[in-house]
Structure 1
Amino acid sequence: MQRGFKVISKAVDSGIELPKRATENAAGYDFASSVDMVLPSIWKIGFLKALKIIQTNRHLDEVESETAQKVLKPYLIPTGIKAYMQPNEVLIIANRSSNPLKRGMIIPNGIGVIDADYYDNENNEGEIFVQMVNFGIKDRKIKKGERIGQGIFMPYLLADDETAPKAKRTGGFGSSGK
């Protein structure tokens, strides 16, 4: 087994399909939401209020700062999928090209990076989540099985004379920086 996808253990009997390519020359494997959910519009959750506070150039108190940060925080859409790959590979999670234009949905950090050691490590089974923000006017209803992103397996290179890290991943989403 060199690279591929599996359904996470808690979702095995939930009817989730493994990511697949839509056409024979497609590079990306389509990832779908594993749940029905609502991705709220940034305009309805106080984005303008947060922006107005920031634009005043005044010092934000702790409550204002925390409120603005919550408004601007992306939502995580679960996929119920984990990916395995070789140690010198990465799975890049990218937006579907139709999402911004047709659905007002963007991946705020541009791409997601799924490292090989995210899969089945000590404290994490490796479920892949897609970060999304809805900049559309209306809330976006996402249905279970709706395609939300695409994953592309890629090899990566290491720098000459690198001192290899000794740390092992022991957690899930965002755990490599600990």
Structure 2
Amino acid sequence: MTFKPLLTGIAVTGLTLGSLSLASVPAHALSIGSQIDAIWFGDASTNNFDFATFFLNSGPEPGFTFVTGKGDIPTGLQFATIKDIPSFSAFVPIDNFIYFGDGVNYNFSLSAITPTISGNSLSIALRGIFADGTPGVGTLTTQLDGEPVRSWSATVTAVPTPALLPGLLGLGIAALRRKDGEPTEENA
């Protein structure tokens, strides 16, 4: 029994679906792996995070952060605001969680968090979407050492959308076929 017709059908279907999904990606989408690295100070507890302003004040106003980027995000030092996470247990999505300004395609909105406390360390898994529609995941870490203001760092990276995965699967199958020496449509 040969699986060649089946694999060919899967590859063609994957490439077709991948092509259709690529048509719906924004024209100026961030490339996969583009990244925001942010640092500053804040006041963390076991159920919330209050990001400090430039002058290290806490309160209802958005906090401040120094940011560097990778990929499609500028690599030089930038400034951005970052909004507080008022409750881990009753989390509500936060638009423009990391905000660089109007019309910037790498503003990041936070849609889900998963906080983890280990000893006096707090790690928050972040999931959200950049302003251009590219999904992003990351981590924010700090210490819970009883001090009112402590340093924190965060990284958010652009990741592929589930809609792109069938196309990537099809490309992978085609590459495997070429590696195994099976004829492809080009050299059959």
What is the TM-score normalised by the length of structure 2?
0.26
Question: Greater strand share, 1 or 2?
Answer: 2
Find the structure with the greater CA-based Rg: 2
Specify which structure has the bigger relative contact order, considering alpha-carbon pairs within 8 angstroms and separated by 6 or more residues. 1
